Structure formats: structure tokens, C-alpha cells
Amino acid sequence: MEQDKLRKRAIWALFIVFVLYLLLVILGNSNLIKQKKYPLKFEEQIREYSTVYQVDPFLVASIIFIESRFNPDAVSMRNAKGLMQILPSTGEWVASKLDIENFNETHLLDPETNIQIGCWYISYLSSQFSGNMELVLAAYNGGIGNVSKWLKEKKYSTDGKQLDYIPFVETRNYVEKVLGVYNIYQEIYPGLEL
């Protein structure tokens, strides 16, 4: 009887030690777990074009994650294409600014071209909105014309420089999601900084 009690206690003690060990392993590798949920692909291209166009690589990675989950073949219902979900019309406009010859919308499915165009466009939006990340994201999703219009309306912007309210639900949610992922990427990929 006494041996059975000792055996049960030993088993429980081993079980508790095992559970504590697992908790330590999991907590100690929480970044590894987060990195599974929030992967970082195409890091070389993100780093290269973020540097060339002076944009935050964490922002680029966060946009890619929300837009396509790093799927270079993604095509939206609105025909936005590639990693950064760029509309063909935007792609053509940016390609003309970058002197990309013989551009057509299938080039948006090429990760390098897509990231190059996306980074240039983020840089352009940043110059239009004084580097305000929230406005850049709102314009990336909801359109530069809409954001410019909202900034002029007192019900959306009291100072004309910051949005107090984003009237498009999709755009409002988009900005929140990208900023949330942005914070996570900064935490789990500290080596991405320029």
C-alpha cells in the first residue's frame, strides 16, 4: 500500500516537472511560436526596397501579411495583385515613374517587382501625408483622394493633419490590423530594422 502511494506521488511529481518544463520551453520560445503565426518571407526584397525608398521594413512586411499572407499569387475580387495587392492601374502608374519598361499587370505577381512598386508607393504616400503612418495606411487601402477629402472635413479631422475618424469600415479595420501586426513584427523580428 505504502509503495503504491509512493509510486503515485513519484508519477505526479514527474508529471508536474514535465508540465513545468513544457511551459518553460513554450514561454522561452514564444517568438518561435509567434513567427509561425506571423511569418516573414521575401525578407531580402523587403529590406532592399525599404532601403531604396526609405520606408519602414516592418510596415512593408505588415502590409504584405495583411494583404496576401505572403502569397505572391494572390488576386483580390477587385483585381489587386501579388504580395502587396496592388491594383493594375496603380502598378502601371508607379512603373511609369520607375521607368519599368514593358510593364503589364502580370508583373505584379512577381514578388520583387511587387515589393519594389509597393515600397515606392508607400514612400509616395508618406511624402503626401508627412510620414503619418495611419494616413499612409488609410490611403493605401481607401485611396489617396478619400484621405485628402476626409482631412478637409471637420467631422473626420479637427486639425486637418490627423484623422479622428475613418468613415470607411474596411479602411478603419485595415489600419488597425496592419498597425497590430506592425507591433508584432517589431517584437519578433528585431533584425529587420534598417
Give the model's pLDDT for residue 81.
99
What's the whole-model pTM score? 0.85
Asked whether residue 49 falls in the same domain as residue 103, the answer is yes
Residue 67 known to be catalytic? yes
Number of domains in the chain: 2
Per the rule left: phi > 0, alpha: psi between -120 and 50, beta: everything else, 130 is left
Options 43, 44, 67, 153, the catalytic residue? 67
Asked whether residue 119 falls in the same domain as residue 62, the answer is yes
Give the domain CATH number at 121: 1.10.530.10
Asked whether residue 23 falls in the same domain as residue 1, the answer is yes
Asked whether residue 157 falls in the same domain as residue 145, the answer is yes
What does the pLDDT profile of the chain (194 residues) look like in tens digits? 677 777 777 788 787 777 766 665 555 557 888 899 999 999 999 999 999 999 999 999 999 999 999 999 999 999 999 999 999 999 999 999 999 999 999 999 999 999 999 999 999 999 999 999 999 999 999 999 999 999 999 999 999 999 999 999 999 999 999 999 999 999 999 988 75
116-129: buried (b, 16+ CB within 10 Å) or exposed (e) per residue?
bbbbbbbbbbbeeb
Give the model's pLDDT for residue 3.
76
The residue count for the chain: 194
Asked whether residue 13 falls in the same domain as residue 47, the answer is no
Asked whether residue 21 falls in the same domain as residue 64, the answer is no
Asked whether residue 79 falls in the same domain as residue 52, the answer is yes
Helix axis angle for 169-188 and 30-37, nearest 10°, is 140
Asked whether residue 103 falls in the same domain as residue 119, the answer is yes
Asked whether residue 95 falls in the same domain as residue 7, the answer is no
Asked whether residue 57 falls in the same domain as residue 83, the answer is yes
Question: What domain range includes position 19?
Answer: 1-37
Asked whether residue 46 falls in the same domain as residue 21, the answer is no
Asked whether residue 101 falls in the same domain as residue 18, the answer is no
